[in-house]
Structure formats: C-alpha cells, structure tokens
C-alpha cells in the first residue's frame, strides 16, 4: 500500500505495519490508523504517521532512551482493551515537541502511547496520578 507522509513523501507500507487506535488519539479522534516510520537512518526518533491525513505525523521515541527511571503502571482496563497477554509484546512511545535544538526538545511523559505489537492495537494513555508532565526536557547527555 502506498501512503503520503508528512516527512517522507510517498512511502510503501505493508498492511501488517498499520497500528490501530480504536478511539483515535486525544485531539485527533478521527485519526485511527497510523504507521511508524524512522525519521532518518541514524536517528532515535520515529514518525507516528496518520494514514488518513498526510500532514499529521508525530515525532515519537522510546522514553527509555532518554529517561532511565521512567515507569508507570498500566491500568488493567488498557491491558484488556489492547488485549495484552505478554508484557514483551508492549512497546511504549512518547510524543516529542521538537525545537531548534535537541537540548530544548521535550517529551510528553504524561501521555505515553502503548502499542501491542502482537495485534497492532494502540492507545494513548493519560497518567492521571503521576508526577510526569507533558513537557520534560530530554536527558540528552546520558543517551546520545
């Protein structure tokens, strides 16, 4: 399948690469299908690209690359919605707000994206009782 993307123009993807957000993403509830593409070959950053809207591509990354102590408990309801059977099937990503320099780039640790790689179901989860915020500066020295 050929899709139009925000950062890469026209790209060919496979059906099994499609990630399904049954309720969309907060603020983009009509956007239910995405694909993850590398931002560039050497980059730790990825693009969460909407299949429906070529102009909608979020820069994401594994939070664990930048925040060694990042942890949270996944609500049992989310585990059920995503049909998670094995924790090893779960991938966690966070949306980044890219700035002019990497030192000013922030990560939304309050609302991680959880993907069950086994069935490609996903959900952005809001961590309500958490010390995490929507704009944490990347801890660049320890990871890059």
Contact 96, 46 (CB under 8 A): no
Residue 138, CB half-sphere, CA atoms under 13 Å: how many? 27
Token pair recorded at residue 58: 């979020």
* Residues 6 or more apart whose Cβ sits within 8 Å of residue 42: none
Looking at residue 83, its pLDDT comes to 97
Which H or E run includes 80? helix 76-81
Looking at residue 141, its pLDDT comes to 53
Contact 69, 106 (CB under 8 A): no
Cα–Cα distance for residue pair 74/134, rounded to 1 Å:
18
- Residue 120: pLDDT band (50, 70, 90) is very high
Q: Which CATH number fits domain 1-135: 3.30.360.10, 2.60.40.3080, 2.60.120.620, 2.30.290.10?
A: 2.30.290.10
* pLDDT tens-place string over residues 22-67: 999 999 999 999 999 999 888 899 999 999 999 999 999 999 999 9
Q: Where are the domains of the chain?
A: 1-135
The answer, as to whether pTM is greater than 0.85, is yes
């Amino acid at each position: 399948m050929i899709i139009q993307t925000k950062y890469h123009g026209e790209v060919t993807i496979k059906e099994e690469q499609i990630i399904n957000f049954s309720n969309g993403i907060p603020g983009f509830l009509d956007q239910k299908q995405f694909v993850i593409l590398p931002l560039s070959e050497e980059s730790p950053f990825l693009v969460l690209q909407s299949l429906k809207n070529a102009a909608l591509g979020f820069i994401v990354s594994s939070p664990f690359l930048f925040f060694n102590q990042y942890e949270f408990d996944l609500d049992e309801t989310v585990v059920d919605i995503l049909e998670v059977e094995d924790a090893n099937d779960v991938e966690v990503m966070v949306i980044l707000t890219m700035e002019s320099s990497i030192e000013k780039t922030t990560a939304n640790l309050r609302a991680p994206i959880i993907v069950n790689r086994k069935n490609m179901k996903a959900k952005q989860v809001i961590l309500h009782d958490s010390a995490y915020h929507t704009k944490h500066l990347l801890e660049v020295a320890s990871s890059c």
